[in-house]
Structure 1
Amino acid sequence: MTQSHAKLAQALLPLAHQAGAAIMAVYATAFTARAKDDRSPVTDADDAAEAIILAGLRTLTPDIPVVAEELAARGEAPNVGSGPFWLVDPLDGTREFIERNGEFTVNIALVENTRPVLGIVLAPALEVAWLGAPDGARRFDKLHPEGKTIRVRKVPKVAPLVLVSRNHREASVDTWLKQQMAPETKTVGSSLKFCQIAEGSADFYPRFAAISEWDTAAGQAVLEAAGGAVLAWDGPADKPRIGPALHYGKPDFRNLPFLARGA
């Protein structure tokens, strides 16, 4: 890991925690949700966390543009060109936040040469964070405040554990599940699915519908740093074509369907 990456990685954890604290402050109130133009929900927690992250990243790296979900929703996403840029989802799993189930995250990723090379995922309600960097992946919690190295496990041929979205489950996922050898399934919200595979407690996360880049970049950085992969998925569920890893910086910041997996 370069010195610059190491410095940025060190700065991301406290920045994510600042955003997480703002989220939890709203979580403790009788907040209400609003609908964006695409009918997806947004709350004051999304806005508060994004403002903190934007200010922090602009101070940390003033020359690197930042693409954030609510900024993009207002049509204010910068032109990132071919250079490095930050991708931010200040509150991934807003529906989980509204449902108060704790499965929501703060996501910050640095993209270089169209790939996420550094990323942090913080689950403020669970008091756990995962960091992916060129030198590996770590989990931070009360027992491991300095970080514990994590790695994916080898995917078993029989009874793999497949993580599925609570609010975004496509019929094609069920078709794919029928082709696996006695798979077990678990419903998990937000980018926590990437992190559970990264720490070796699950095997697959299929997402066979288009998704925004800020939803996947930080999780992909963590999972790849832990030895896993996030592979583009093309074609019908019964005859899939698995492509290369997801890439970032497309004009509309939309990603292909994908299959995240362990080793």
Structure 2
Amino acid sequence: MKMKKKYVPVLSIAGSDSSGGAGIQADLKSFSALGCYGMTVLTATTAQNTKGVRGIHGIPVGHIIDQLDAILDDIPPKAIKIGMLDRPEVVEALANRLKNFSIPIVFDPVMVATSGDRLIQEETIASIKEYLMPIATLLTPNLDEAALLCGFEVNSFDLMKKAGKKLFDLNNQAILIKGGHLDNEVIQDLLILKHGESFVFENSKITSKNVHGTGCSLSSAIAAELAKGEVLQEAVLKARNYIFQAILLGRSVQIGHGNGPLNHFFNPQKQIINEVE
């Protein structure tokens, strides 16, 4: 029997960044750089550049679900990354559609842009906690997002552990709290798994203005590694190494006049093609 060949499909459900550094655009770049076949469901468009967000336009909920159904019916992804969801009705519709699928879901609760601009409505947070966090394989908040979800400031590693415990009560699979916003020379990210297991990932902090879209790129890189068959802890490790190099090798490049993007394609992998029966 002749073997069929297939790409490794990964889906991003997120908003668009018109400047190309974050959101859907960063996700597609990360998927491609790591050898996967990227697909998208667009939840919103933003008018933004490296200096900030000028406006957000939500895609109608019905059309979001139509996009998702078109993908699920024809090219089922090996993993899903979810990013910016700006309205409660979007959160509920997506969670209702995805809750019965056994596909790894990496949820990056995008709430605050690198520029400091808020990207999410207040009432959306409650819907995220109730409907989406319980079905996510991994939640990847930064410190600002963890604070919004927990209701208290998260500005130390001890508070990261406290926030992780609280968030784990809402998502009983895995939490990765990113400590990049702490004023430390060493970045510490905390991964909490089932049964109380936890792991701390460390790397030296890179001084660079080009960190726009770091969270989007990390979560999509984790999704790509899961799609390729890595276990969660190893997927996080490989994704973090990819992001470290993308920041390091993009810090001297100037795009725009504000917070520039990473160098996603510093060493792109060839597109992975698997043989299947």
Q: TM-score range by the shorter chain?
A: under 0.3
Larger relative contact order (CA 8 Å, sep ≥ 6): 2
Q: Which has the higher strand share?
A: 1
